[in-house]
Structures are given as C-alpha cells and as structure tokens.
Amino acid sequence: MQALTIRIGTRGSPLALAQTQEVRTRLQAAHGPGAPAIEVRVIKTSGDRIQDRPLSEAGGKGLFTKEIEEALLAGEIDLAVHSMKDMPTVLPAGLTVACLLPREDVRDAFISHKARSLAELPAGATVGTSSLRRQAQVKRMRPDITIVPLRGNVETRLRKLEEGVADATLLAVAGLRRLGLADRITSIVPTREILPAVAQGAIGIEIRAADFATAQLLAPLNHQPTAIAVAAERAFLAKLDGSCRTPIAGLAELAQDGRRLAFRGMILTPDGRQCHETSREGRPEEAILMGEDAAAELLAKAGPDFFGASG
C-alpha cells in the first residue's frame, strides 16, 4: 500500500485522544510499513464548550459530533473517531460509520470514598451525574438518593468527586480503562443492576460514504461482533427516536460461538418511577430487526405520552 497522510479529526479530551491513539496503533499494526502517516486534528465541539448546563437541555445527542462531521464533509479531515454512544442515530447525508473497534467493557463503574456500592450508600446520599440514564436507574434502585449535576471530562468529574461535590459517581468502565484510571474504580456495577447506554464502550470511525480508499484502509480494523451488537442497540434507539433527553438503555451481547445474539432494552422516566424493559434473543443477522422489535414493544407498553412526560 502506498504511503499517504490520513487526517484524523477528534475532540481534544484526554479520552478522545486516547481513542484516537488506539486507532493510530491499529492502523499501523494492520498495514505495517505501508501504514499511512497520521495527522491528528483536534476539533472543539459544542458539547465541549457547553459546561454550564446538562447537555439534555442544550440539544441532546450530536453536540459532540457536529463540528467534527462538518470538517469531514468539508474535506478538512479524512476520518473521525467517536465514542459511539455520542453518535446520533441518523448521520448527516454523505457520511457513514466505516468500522467499529473491538468493544471495551460495557459496564458502569461506581466510584466513592464512602461506600463500596450504590446499595451501601447511606440514606440521603448524593450521586453526581449528568446522565439521565444513570440518574433514572439510580433513582429506581434508591429513591432516597439525591442526584447532583456533574459535567466535564472524566478527570474533571473525578476531581469534583474528590472535592466533595457528591458522595459517589458513575462513569463508564471503558473510559477509565482507556485512560489508565481503572484503579479509581470502587466497584463495577453489573448490567442487571444498571443497563448501559446504547453503544457504550464502542469506538466508531466515521468517513465520507464515497471515500472508498479510506474505507479499504479501515476494513482490517472492523470488529464484526461489536458491529453486530451496536447495530441492534442503535436500531433500538433509532426506533425510539431517543436522545440524551430521554433515559434509554440497551445492550446486545453476541454468544462466544457467534451464533446467538441476546438483547435487553429499557426506557424510564427521569425520576425512575416508571420503567419498561424487554429482552430478545435471535440470530446475529436479525440484529437490526431485534432492536426495532424491542423498541416497538416498549413504545406500545409505555403509550404515546411516556416520552413527553419523561422530558
């Protein structure tokens, strides 16, 4: 393969840069001496600029991708590295997710100096999070707990916890591991207790749909089991028309032999008082249909006013 320069667009947070470095490392491993030179371009997004209020109030999903996607469409970069949980379900015309890297741990981490788990927090304790999904599931488990807003990148949220802003917080295990901060985890929350965000732990690489050369370059990096699971989860989210303004959780898991796919989905009101959940099992090639069917069931269960009431 001829040497060339690939321009990667990314957010500037330590986690985003760590994810970009993972893409760089995998490209070099896949193509050896013929690997392209890589130029990293940091792009500040609306989600990075807005720090004074929850993103759910500022416009929801897309705030961490909009400016990067504009640079991609303008030809200023060749590919974009994203946390898939930040990606809107409908991409701008002309863009596509070309590949997904092997998924990290999907679970949430409980972090606290005052308790070993959510269940062990004292009555009336505070949990810091700006995720409506986490808020709703925490309130469902522990209605006595007070939620306090906690924005910022992973390091900022950990610092705020040290400063006593809250008694505990929840962060994605994947992000902590990618940043080398797994030692900060007090305990890992089982998915039966708190279901993850759709596509949590998955890194996606977005390109221009007509850029076949870059697609070919990225093809060896695609991890098909991750792609199958994320397809089911994103189909679920899309059918629900979900954004970060609505507490939605979903997880698809492929059996080790690759023959069966299990899916669990959940929608809640932000106070956790109302919750509807469902599960599916089927063949991997049915991933998208499974996600859509699960969403249709929850929409029917919840009724037309559920999402309006939960906003």
Question: From CA 41, how far away is CA 17, in angstroms rounded?
Answer: 10
Do residues 11 and 43 lie in contact, with contact meaning Cβ atoms separated by under 8 Å? yes
How large is the angle between the packed helices 14-31 and 154-162, nearest 10 degrees?
Answer: 140
Which of 161, 174, 158 has the alpha carbon at shortest distance from 15?
174
Q: What is the pTM of this model?
A: 0.91
Residues 211 and 81 in one domain: yes
Q: What range does the domain containing 60 cover?
A: 5-102+202-222
Which of 229, 107, 222, 118 has the alpha carbon at shortest distance from 175?
107
Residues 75 and 120 in one domain: no
Residues 61 and 208 in one domain: yes
Task: Specify if 132 maps to a domain.
Answer: yes
Residues 206 and 58 in one domain: yes
Residues 128 and 151 in one domain: yes
Predicted local distance difference test score (pLDDT) of residue 60: 57
The CATH number linked to 302 is 3.30.160.40
CA–centroid distance for 73 within its chain = 23
Predicted local distance difference test score (pLDDT) of residue 124: 94
Residues 209 and 68 in one domain: yes
Q: Going residue by residue through the chain (311 aa), what tens digit of pLDDT does each one get? A: 444 899 999 999 999 999 999 999 999 999 999 899 999 999 987 666 555 555 555 455 567 788 999 999 999 999 999 999 989 999 999 999 999 999 999 999 999 999 999 999 999 999 999 999 999 999 999 999 999 999 888 999 999 999 999 999 999 999 999 999 999 999 999 999 999 999 999 999 999 999 999 999 999 999 999 999 999 999 999 999 865 568 999 999 999 999 999 999 999 999 999 999 999 999 999 999 999 999 999 999 998 777 765 44
Residues 12 and 78 in one domain: yes
Q: Could you give the number of structural domains in the chain?
A: 3
Task: Specify if 253 maps to a domain.
Answer: yes
Given 78, 86, 211, 293, the catalytic residue: 86
Residue owning tokens 């919840």: 302
The CATH number linked to 142 is 3.40.190.10
Task: Specify if 229 maps to a domain.
Answer: no
Active site residue 78: no
